[in-house]
Amino acid sequence: MIRLGSAAGARSPRRLATACLLLSLCTASLKADDGYDLWLRYRLVTDSSRLREYRASITALVMRGESPTIRVARAELLAGFTGLLGAEIPLERDITRDGAVVAGTPAGSALISALGLAATLGTVGDDGFVIRAVRIGARPVIVIAANHDIGVLYGAFHLLRLLQTHASLDGLSVTSSPRIQRRLLDHWDNLDRTVERGYAGASLWDWESLPRSVASRYRDYARANASVGINGTVLTNVNANAMLLTPPYLAKVAALANVFRPFGIRVYLTARFNAPMEIGGLASADPRDPGVRRWWKRKSDEIYRAVPDFGGFVVKANSEGQPGPQDYGRTHADGANMLGDALTPHGGIVMWRAFVYSNEVPVDRVKQAYEEFVPLDGTFRDNVMIQVKNGPLDFQPREPFHPLFGAMPRTPLVMEFQITKEYLGQDTHLAFLGPLFEEVLHAETYAHGAGSTVGRVIDGSLHGYRRTGIAGVANIGTDRNWTGSQFNQANWYAFGRLAWDHTQRASDIANEWVRMTFSNDPAVIATTVPLMLHSREAVVNYMTPLGLAHQMARGHHYGPGPWVTGGRADQTSVYYHHADTLGIGFDRTRTGSNAAAQYFSPLREALADRATVPDAYLLWFHHVGWLERMRSGRTLWDELVFRQTAGVDSVRAMQHAWQSLEGKIDSARFDEVRRFLVIQEHEAKWWRDAMLLYFQTFSRLPFPAGTEAPAHPLSFYRELRCPADARRPRCELVY
Ligand code: GCV
């Protein structure tokens, strides 16, 4: 705990060392940069005029209170100021000099309550904050004020972000509150510490040693999340294990919840629908069975005894083999409402996933969730939310937004993004997902005419949802850099920032992330930000351009496999590309599955019309002849070759750009990125060559003159066998 003290002696090296030790924050600066510190590095401000400004504006911290959250916020500010300003900033009881930072709530600080901020604070809700440069008496100070301690913590991180990004403090005036209430990470972590679709090592949760041993990394995890406003974590895989709900595991969950609580992070769990049978000894899991209902109620009571602020359940039911209410002839609403009823007395919620599709249902897979859930709109309990993936298929490099957004006005929908890059090159490929998130959140649904963006559906403003939520499937593991690559950290960061305010631009988020993570050097920013912003489009181009989707090899979802067939039809590549000698693409207009009709007018007409559908979604909605002309003037075949080649070329340009930063970024991180870009370039070419050679067997057209020739014949790619490790299935032979 940091105690209030006088300014005298505050700058002594011993105190500085003690503060660093206590906070475990400063030690990292002594080590090589391995990425562990994420965007919270707090290195000395390198711009000398800014440094002078900051040193004059921030001379002391006045912050009272001993709640766990206030202590965390105070420690963060002190550590941040110390690192960024290169001088220890004293903690004082009162304002004794110009340039104090005064932080707290009106209830906890007489100074704050006397400031007349009540009206502004009235607009920022439970989590929001106000930061202002004001005068108290004659002294200029910076105030961080909030209604609750957690808002003070968020405000503290915001002020530190301003310093980290070298923003001016002149006339400082920030009022900020999240647009979405529940901002969650979903971990697909299993109890054996494997992570489904995880590419950053093992699960962070060391179930074996919990609850006796509580690793310090859990605290670092919570701190990083709080720094971007994430306020909930679903600890376990949606392909759930009922053992999680047994007493020994609940004790472990409680230990984690205790660590996360000061950072404003609630724990949620995945509920296996047939848990009453698997661990409760019941003969059924029928949601209408009174015994089953009683079991869930008692289980919920038990969970709340262990974790009083437990957030609720996430459920994957009747999807990809998971048990669910339909096993008993019941609906998703029956199942979700039973769990909702069990949680109601405690204020918990259910996030019931809409990711359902069945091989038995003979309709286009991308239509199924809509058909299943729209008729249930208005039948869910007040504490049930439906969690919907950003697109109707499955986290592809690009999909149109899910047509459920806007189509369930009486049921709050939770957005589910995938931060872990299952389909976008996993750990190695550099793909900044900010533009993907932005593209979806800013998309027009037209549910209530223009301005009805997906963001406004999930923030509740369009339909007046009382509850709102957004979830990102985490990309975090035990790797030292947390996310498998330095740049994957940016996707965690961008998710959190957009969860707080979905109207932000990916470009601004990339800019602040680069400044905080790598450097404020203009050359680094000017090179890295555009590289990030183009990176996702590069992946779309070399993997699945023009609205193609689901063309990866079976199982690992890493390399190309447009030839994949057999097994469940709707999990094969051929189901999605529909290539034949005439053309390629899935007809989702009236003459095909008519999935376009699930969107609102005028979008549905625009998508269904070959003349108006955007190129980005062309083959998602249309089967197009190989020789049809594109907007570019090229034939479809030539356009496909052009785009996939452009994807490879973009990666080469990224390599070139990164190389120019040698010496401007610490060598360890520079080199890791450089090496990964080499892999990415090889694999982009692997994707391009395999896809084009395969589709050429249908188009029977030559590559346009001057096209780089594929490195191997198609047979080579088809026979390529990846190493057994499905988590890193790189096919070395390709190189
Ligand atoms: C957790 C895709 C992934 C699965 C995942 C599933 C889901 O199918 O490949 O690993 O399972 O989505 O979101 O439930």
* pLDDT per position as a tens digit, 1-30: 333 333 333 334 334 433 443 444 443 333
Q: Is the pLDDT of residue 404 over 70?
A: yes
Q: Is the pLDDT of residue 690 over 60?
A: yes
Catalytic residue list contains 605: no
With both helix axes pointing from N to C terminus, report the angle between 149-164 and 68-85 in degrees, rounded to the nearest 10.
Answer: 10
Residues 687, 542 contacting (CB under 8 angstroms): yes
Q: How confident is residue 730, by pLDDT bands cut at 50, 70 and 90? A: low
Tell how far the Cα of 495 is from the centroid of ligand 1, in angstroms: 19
Ligand 1 pocket mutation, candidates 194, 196, 550, 572, criterion most atoms within 8 A of CB: 196
CB of 194 within 6 A of ligand 1: the answer is no
Of 37, 341, 394, 438, catalytic: 394
Q: Which pLDDT does position 719 carry in this prediction?
A: 86
Which atom of ligand 1 has the smallest separation from the CA of 389?
Answer: 13
Tell how far the Cα of 118 is from the centroid of ligand 1, in angstroms: 46
User: Coil, strand or helix: which one is 313?
Assistant: strand
Tell how far the Cα of 189 is from the centroid of ligand 1, in angstroms: 12
Q: Which pLDDT does position 11 carry in this prediction?
A: 37
Q: Which pLDDT does position 135 carry in this prediction?
A: 96
Q: Which pLDDT does position 732 carry in this prediction?
A: 54
User: At residue 290, what is the residue type?
Assistant: P
Residue closest via CA to ligand 1's atom 11 equals 239
Q: Which pLDDT does position 361 carry in this prediction?
A: 72
CA dihedral of residues 288, 289, 290, 291 (deg, nearest 10) = -150
Whole-angstrom Cα distance, residue 577 to residue 580? 9
Q: Which pLDDT does position 362 carry in this prediction?
A: 72
Give residue-wise pLDDT tens across range 194-203: 999 999 999 9
Q: What are phi and psi of 425, to 5 degrees?
A: 90, 5
Whole-angstrom Cα distance, residue 235 to residue 218? 12
Q: Which pLDDT does position 360 carry in this prediction?
A: 75
Whole-angstrom Cα distance, residue 646 to residue 728? 25
Whole-angstrom Cα distance, residue 541 to residue 646? 7
Whole-angstrom Cα distance, residue 108 to residue 443? 42
Give residue-wise pLDDT tens across range 251-307: 999 999 999 999 999 999 999 999 999 999 999 999 999 999 999 999 999 999 999
Query: Which of 246-255, 344-353, 723-732 shows the lowest mean pLDDT across its residues?
Result: 723-732
> Token pair for residue 340?
């909702």
Q: What are phi and psi of 276, to 5 degrees?
A: -60, -30
Give this prediction's pTM.
0.95
Q: Which pLDDT does position 539 carry in this prediction?
A: 98
Q: Which pLDDT does position 32 carry in this prediction?
A: 57
CB of 379 within 6 A of ligand 1: the answer is no
Q: Which pLDDT does position 357 carry in this prediction?
A: 86
Catalytic residue list contains 76: no
Q: Is the pLDDT of residue 696 over 60?
A: yes
Query: Which of 39-48, 301-310, 721-730 shows the lowest mean pLDDT across its residues?
Result: 721-730
Average pLDDT over residues 532-557: 95
Give residue-wise pLDDT tens across range 52-85: 999 999 999 999 999 999 999 999 999 999 999 9
CB of 648 within 6 A of ligand 1: the answer is no
CB of 518 within 6 A of ligand 1: the answer is no
Whole-angstrom Cα distance, residue 161 to residue 167? 9
Residues 166, 155 contacting (CB under 8 angstroms): no
Average pLDDT over residues 97-116: 96
Computed from CA positions of residues 154, 155, 156, 160, in that sequence, does the dihedral angle turn out positive or negative? positive
Which atom of ligand 1 has the smallest separation from the CA of 416?
Answer: 13
Which atom of ligand 1 has the smallest separation from the CA of 237?
Answer: 1
Which atom of ligand 1 has the smallest separation from the CA of 473?
Answer: 13
Alpha helices (H) in 357-505, listed in sequence order: 365-373, 434-441, 454-458, 488-500
Distance from CA of residue 715 to its chain's centroid? 38
Give residue-wise pLDDT tens across range 302-354: 999 999 999 999 999 999 999 999 999 999 999 999 999 999 999 999 999 99
CB of 416 within 6 A of ligand 1: the answer is no
Catalytic residue list contains 394: yes
Ligand 1 pocket mutation, candidates 393, 394, 423, 558, criterion most atoms within 8 A of CB: 394
H or E element that contains 530: helix 522-543
